[in-house]
Structure 1
């Protein structure tokens, strides 16, 4: 067969197989037997092996292949993957509804969707082709798992239109696949996965795509990250567009026009939940209109236009055998219940948080009690109450110590706090927990340097503070138990890579009291360098949005310590970056620009700038770049083929520029 005839045959086979995959994996309506699909796939493989130049990136043969990876590369998300606020009962939902109505009035609708219990991922398409997929990670930076995501047959390698966009969804393991996987693991004498969510996450973080392919994962897409020129004006339209492009969405969604309909939907799926072929852990409720979503905006952690209702936690009974005390990085003592192992919400639980001494007294929890245990939000085990009627008289009351169990320093209870605290800054437990926090994913994100390795390094006295991490050598690490050449080199590479993190990662990692990851980003953007922040006064700090009195006092007190400056000097000497790498924040009133304080919307195709470049330049000049046009919009920049956003801008009388005018103003 000549090349031209082979090209025609390959195209025919690729088209057929992609269509059959869509029917089987997306629509759940197979039109041919598995044997026929397998026969056609074998034919395609033979043709592509004989004529490799005919192999395309969207060929069904490209779903599994490639070399085993050494590690996953980091990926910075174009827009953050935010978490949702939670509702646990009807009162929470009605409160959410009340706040929405106060903000946008009564003329709105909700879209209710099943909350899939899996792993959040983002998929990037360029000109219709799947080019990259990543995990959520910390919401800002995830891991590139493209090769593993390609093994999920419900993810299209080529869309039905040559469109460039980023979409988000939840990868999951169907119940049937989970049962089959655990059956195989048990036959091999291996530890089974605790639940389908863990199995899905573990499968997508396999370094060998061929292993991931055997896990039979699936996905539901639920959002478009950057709507661009799609013309979409609502969540329901966005989901319909995903359907048209060939993505798999969950068809059990429903548009509701009031909170009563939302509550009825929740009752329906609370009852039907066990009958689904996949796990769900709640219902996601979103305001449908994108314009109204923009009006509602965001808190520091989540959108105000969406909420996740979590199903009531499963409760079980077990025996509390012991109460252990753990000292955290801030010195707080947290009592933990040690339980007889019991299955709760799909996992075996042996420990549960008791929070503080007051809770133990309030619930009259005693060692030896029969207790009711649940998982808060289906995640964190906690003791709900005690079955006092089952007591035998052998139960023991628990007494909190007066000294730290780690360093024997006197414990104190600070004014306004319920927790006992060790205030010895040299307490080994606090130092160890601080080190664990420093290397965590949301802080410096040092791969392979987890809790166990940190504890071992601390025990061997190889590290005493975070600066010591950057002094570790190959010879020190190779001498440790279970540390081979490959793992040592991988760890040293990860430590080296962390030196280039932007300032906010280091700030959060240092564990300054009351400074969370969001506040660390704000401080880094405002001050630019660690040196500038260290010299900031209380007044300068409290003048910044999101920085309150308590946080400002904590920051000032932190930088007054001589040992802090010694530590920062050590980090700088080790090559750790102490500067912010993003665009600096400048007070709007100090920006001499037409765009300062204005809300700008970009629409249509730009030729001289990418959308992200235009957005960055505008934000640097004090603009707020929004995704949809509303009465609050000050300017719309319309590129080629501008659609409904331009029409709306004109109907509202909003100022409209073309790209040339934007470029001229940006140069001023």
Structure 2
């Protein structure tokens, strides 16, 4: 039953992080994944030899279909559905409980079975989907009413769940398939991932019918090949097969790295390919000013839709492909979504093809184009003065050298700060991160053309009387826009940093910076060494962040945002700060928990994690198999930094 329309979606923090999956694209990559898993399990043997399991390297795999929908989390208490949320960034999603209640395949009350009791608490993960038939029907209605068509069922499902009025969501005929249990008070009965699926089915959830327990990768590959044959006629969009180590104890040992679990992999089927002719190569100007070549080709049907362009990323890619205007090329849709040029059919050349040369002026503003080295900057110790400007090989920055490795590539940038294309892309990015959904790119262009805004900060000074008189807006539309802008003025520190569009700073890096510094003032006043100490942040990133906050125009923009009402939420400091003020460096493999979990524990208890040893390091945590002295251990001994075992580290967390 649909409830009342909402004013906004409330943010909700996930008790357990919602992870993504690492992809594999071939049998060879699948065997490499298994090899890495076995290596980690072999390393773990000495630390858990007294446990029940004798051989850690003999186990089953569990295979299931990977649906292409929107991941959500459902929480049940005493058998009643109480809350549901989107994945969001994995840590924080949006409360969409009302919309989820309209989906018939989501039980509002769990079924009772004799073998399993209804748990007091259970958190279920699954995928919200729209069937292919429903998508066709919805697009026919939209086309008739002059509304935009959905590109695929995944976008349609996501758009439906983002409706503030649950009545609209209920009309979209969405479906839900459960695939995991994140946490339950009845977990003792669950020994394997396959047990979770059996339990989900007993509780009344819909799960994928195509699944199997496999003894080895040969059986896994047979499952993959079998499903590939029936996949085209499947009722729902799918984008591969998920392979899991079935034993939950082994999953715990393998742990998580970055955003993804080591004990799971998503096999992606080879993309459908087609041939076409490149008619032109145009330049797209990005939000940082980067110039990206774009292949324009004859409209071609591939993987169910017609495409006519594909990004070529950079000049290196053009040179690797030896791509020329007029070439016949092979294109595919990466992940069945994004068009990509994968091969040039040089044998089909007729001699009239033209080599592409990067422009010397920005195609939009005719500003100066600058060539920059990007990519793999390696950090190493060196003594020397602090420098300014872009780093060159061998130059030193605050006692750390930035060296460009052989794998670095070249990018071209429009350096005109007033470039309209660059500023438009940046504005789109900024508003998207602030999640002001009422302001799409077309509306933002309109507001700029009408003189209502000149930059992103001006958005927060808009008034209803500015917008209402504009053609095709009116009082109600203007009121909705202003209402959403007001609601979105408050933003977490990490998202604010991401919105700023600092070169090399994505969502993960922004989160690392926010957790490490806590406030904007502390980050602005920090030196480059402090930034460089953060785990996963190298020299190129720290240099970019440091330089950004030395630029007066950037500081003026931030000041304008704050003056116009933007409120930056301080990064949450942990109440349990037993590790406050301590900086840890991890080396070697930990057995009781994954390195990723160890990092999260350190941060949770108020500490920080660094990727290298410095005078500020408090402890170096040594993995059990580190019998030789790694560079981190040598530096720790040389500097008199205390080296502790994993057991000592765990005792600190008690």
Normalised to the residue count of structure 2, the TM-score between the two structures is 0.75
- Mapped to 2, the partners of 1:185 and 1:578 lie a distance apart of 39
Task: Tell me: CA distance 1:501–1:259, structure 2 relative to 1, closer, same or farther (3 Å).
Answer: same
Which residue number in structure 2 is paired with residue 78 of structure 1?
A: 15
- Mapped to 2, the partners of 1:366 and 1:599 lie a distance apart of 52
- Mapped to 1, the partners of 2:472 and 2:21 lie a distance apart of 39
- Mapped to 1, the partners of 2:474 and 2:548 lie a distance apart of 39
Which residue number in structure 1 is paired with residue 242 of structure 2?
A: 284
Cα pair 2:498 2:505 within 8 Å, conserved = yes
The answer to whether the aligner puts 1:103 opposite 2:40 as a matched pair is yes
Cα pair 1:195 1:346 within 8 Å, conserved = no
Cα pair 2:581 2:607 within 8 Å, conserved = no
* From 76, 81, 89, the counterpart of 1:125: 76
The answer to whether the aligner puts 1:408 opposite 2:336 as a matched pair is no
The answer to whether the aligner puts 1:313 opposite 2:271 as a matched pair is yes
- Mapped to 2, the partners of 1:358 and 1:119 lie a distance apart of 34
Shift of 1:103: 0.9
Shift of 1:532: 0.6
Q: CA offsets, 1:204-226, max 9 Å, x none?
A: 33444444334433221011222
* From 154, 157, 160, the counterpart of 1:203: 160
- Mapped to 2, the partners of 1:515 and 1:256 lie a distance apart of 41
**Partner SS for 1:420:** strand
- Equivalent residues in 2 for 1:19-98, closer than 5 Å: 64-69=1-6, 71-98=8-35
Shift of 1:374: 1.0
Shift of 1:488: 2.3
The answer to whether the aligner puts 1:436 opposite 2:428 as a matched pair is yes
Task: Tell me: CA distance 1:379–1:179, structure 2 relative to 1, closer, same or farther (3 Å).
Answer: closer
Cα pair 1:528 1:579 within 8 Å, conserved = no
Task: Tell me: CA distance 1:223–1:207, structure 2 relative to 1, closer, same or farther (3 Å).
Answer: same
- Mapped to 2, the partners of 1:131 and 1:178 lie a distance apart of 29
The answer to whether the aligner puts 1:424 opposite 2:409 as a matched pair is no
Q: CA offsets, 1:427-485, max 9 Å, x none?
A: 33222222221122xx3222222322233333444333332222222233334443332
**Partner SS for 1:470:** helix
Shift of 1:282: 0.3
Aligned residues: 547
Shift of 1:579: 4.4
* From 234, 244, 247, the counterpart of 2:202: 244
Which of the two has greater strand per residue?
2
Which residue number in structure 2 is paired with residue 164 of structure 1?
A: 121
**Partner SS for 1:134:** strand
Cα pair 2:578 2:606 within 8 Å, conserved = no
Cα pair 2:99 2:169 within 8 Å, conserved = yes
Task: Tell me: CA distance 1:73–1:486, structure 2 relative to 1, closer, same or farther (3 Å).
Answer: farther
Cα pair 2:21 2:261 within 8 Å, conserved = yes
Cα pair 1:374 1:381 within 8 Å, conserved = yes
- Mapped to 1, the partners of 2:549 and 2:208 lie a distance apart of 51
Shift of 1:131: 2.2
**Partner SS for 2:461:** coil
- Mapped to 2, the partners of 1:187 and 1:571 lie a distance apart of 42
Q: CA offsets, 1:607-636, max 9 Å, x none?
A: xxxxxxxx9999436699xxxxxx99xxxx
* From 473, 480, 485, the counterpart of 2:463: 473
Shift of 1:560: 1.4
- Mapped to 2, the partners of 1:438 and 1:225 lie a distance apart of 33
Q: CA offsets, 1:278-306, max 9 Å, x none?
A: 23210112222333323323233222222
- Mapped to 2, the partners of 1:390 and 1:254 lie a distance apart of 45
* From 601, 605, 614, the counterpart of 1:620: 605
- Equivalent residues in 2 for 1:564-575, closer than 5 Å: 564-575=554-565
Which residue number in structure 2 is paired with residue 151 of structure 1?
A: 102
Q: CA offsets, 1:495-527, max 9 Å, x none?
A: 222222121110111112222211211221221
Shift of 1:591: 6.4
**Partner SS for 1:219:** strand
Which residue number in structure 2 is paired with residue 3 of structure 1?
A: none
Which residue number in structure 1 is paired with residue 616 of structure 2?
A: none
Shift of 1:533: 0.9
Q: Which moved more, 1:480-489 or 1:242-251?
A: 480-489
* From 340, 346, 349, the counterpart of 2:307: 349
The answer to whether the aligner puts 1:175 opposite 2:132 as a matched pair is yes
Which of the two has greater helix per residue?
1
- Mapped to 1, the partners of 2:94 and 2:603 lie a distance apart of 28
Which residue number in structure 1 is paired with residue 379 of structure 2?
A: none
Shift of 1:101: 0.9
Normalised to the residue count of structure 1, the TM-score between the two structures is 0.74
Cα pair 1:432 1:458 within 8 Å, conserved = no
**Partner SS for 1:575:** coil
Task: Tell me: CA distance 1:456–1:179, structure 2 relative to 1, closer, same or farther (3 Å).
Answer: closer
Task: Tell me: CA distance 1:492–1:263, structure 2 relative to 1, closer, same or farther (3 Å).
Answer: same
Q: CA offsets, 1:48-102, max 9 Å, x none?
A: xxxxxxxxxxxxxxxx333445554443333332221111112221221111111
- Mapped to 1, the partners of 2:8 and 2:568 lie a distance apart of 26
Which residue number in structure 2 is paired with residue 53 of structure 1?
A: none
Shift of 1:165: 2.0
Q: Which structure 2 segments of 5+ residues have no match? A: 43-56, 112-117, 374-407, 584-589, 594-599, 610-622, 625-646, 648-652
The answer to whether the aligner puts 1:383 opposite 2:341 as a matched pair is yes
Shift of 1:143: 3.4
Task: Tell me: CA distance 1:341–1:600, structure 2 relative to 1, closer, same or farther (3 Å).
Answer: same
Q: Which moved more, 1:149-158 or 1:578-587?
A: 578-587
Task: Tell me: CA distance 1:347–1:304, structure 2 relative to 1, closer, same or farther (3 Å).
Answer: same
- Mapped to 1, the partners of 2:456 and 2:562 lie a distance apart of 12
Cα pair 2:581 2:606 within 8 Å, conserved = no
Shift of 1:309: 1.2
Q: Which moved more, 1:174-183 or 1:272-281?
A: 174-183
Q: Which moved more, 1:535-544 or 1:196-205?
A: 196-205
- Mapped to 2, the partners of 1:139 and 1:488 lie a distance apart of 33
- Mapped to 2, the partners of 1:616 and 1:301 lie a distance apart of 16
Q: CA offsets, 1:360-391, max 9 Å, x none?
A: 34434444444332111222111223445555
Q: Which structure 1 segments of 5+ residues have no match? A: 1-63, 593-597, 602-614, 625-630, 633-653, 655-664
- Mapped to 2, the partners of 1:298 and 1:356 lie a distance apart of 32
Q: CA offsets, 1:326-358, max 9 Å, x none?
A: 111222111112333333223332321122234
* From 103, 114, 126, the counterpart of 2:65: 114
Cα pair 2:5 2:166 within 8 Å, conserved = yes
Task: Tell me: CA distance 1:417–1:425, structure 2 relative to 1, closer, same or farther (3 Å).
Answer: farther
